[in-house]
Amino acid sequence: NKKQAIDYLKSRGLSGEVCRDFGIGYAPPGWDNLLKAVEDNDQRKQRITLLETAGMLVKKENGDFYDRFRERIIFPIRDNRGRVIAFGGRVFNDDKPKYLNSPETPVFHKQRELYGLFEARKANRQLDYLLLVEGYMDVVSLVQYGINNAVATLGTASSIYHLEKIFRHCSKLVVCFDGDAAGKKAASRLLETALPAMSDGREICFLFLPDGEDPDTYVRDK
């Protein structure tokens, strides 16, 4: 329920103000909460089609629809102008998958978007560098502790498009992935991806945390 979601966010050290600034919300249990919210009028069919196109509703083989996001904490994903173009949902129990993102849509291409970039640009008149981390909670937790220049990819490996986007806003990138084997492997892949994007004045640094740590846990422990 909603209280469990709030308690979970509090347990992760997040304040109401930070959750408000990132627009963090909650999708309740149930398969048709969003569907029920669509008014039953002559525009209902068109609105359901739009929600399907936007990835919010999923169509079953029999033609019925169900809500994509259920019993998850919801993170709005914004474009450069602050418009919500997709969502990410995180469970606060042991369900799988832990993270669920909107699918590719006409306005959302995860190979080109970075979570937290709009907020980082809003918080910094000039970005000296951007800190690339792995997940939504890493970004939000870092902001909670005063580090407001973090961004994350959206459940996909870092692409050349991500890097070009970063370098349009600053000349330096610091990569800080989880301190485990998977995090180090992801950093190695990013280095290979980054080579074609490197030119005079551009810089990439790698910050490796102790094994078992991620930016979220590390900043809270310190």
What value does the mean pLDDT of the chain take?
91
What residues have CB less than 8 Å from 110, skipping those under 6 apart?
A: 86, 101, 104, 153, 154, 155, 156
Q: Which residue has the higher pLDDT, 87 or 187?
A: 87
Q: Both tokens of residue 209?
A: 């945390």
Q: What is the pLDDT of residues 57-104, one digit of tens each?
A: 999 999 999 999 999 999 999 999 999 999 999 998 778 888 899 999
DSSP E strands: which ranges in 137-219? 150-152, 172-175, 203-206
pLDDT of residue 39: 85
Lowest mean pLDDT among 10-24, 42-56, 174-188: 174-188
pLDDT of residue 222: 65
Q: Is a pLDDT exceeding 70 seen at residue 30?
A: yes
Model confidence at 32, pLDDT cuts 50, 70, 90, reads: very high
- What's the predicted TM-score (pTM) here? 0.90
DSSP string, 70-96: -SEEEEEEE-TTS-EEEEEEE-SSS-S
CA distance 40 to 125: 46
Q: What is the mean pLDDT of residues 185-197?
A: 89
Q: Which residue has the higher pLDDT, 222 or 93?
A: 93
pLDDT of residue 100: 92
pLDDT of residue 148: 95
DSSP string, 128-155: S-EEEESSHHHHHHHHHTT---EEE-SS
Q: Does the N-terminal peptide bond of residue 97 adopt cis geometry, omega within 30 degrees of 0?
A: yes
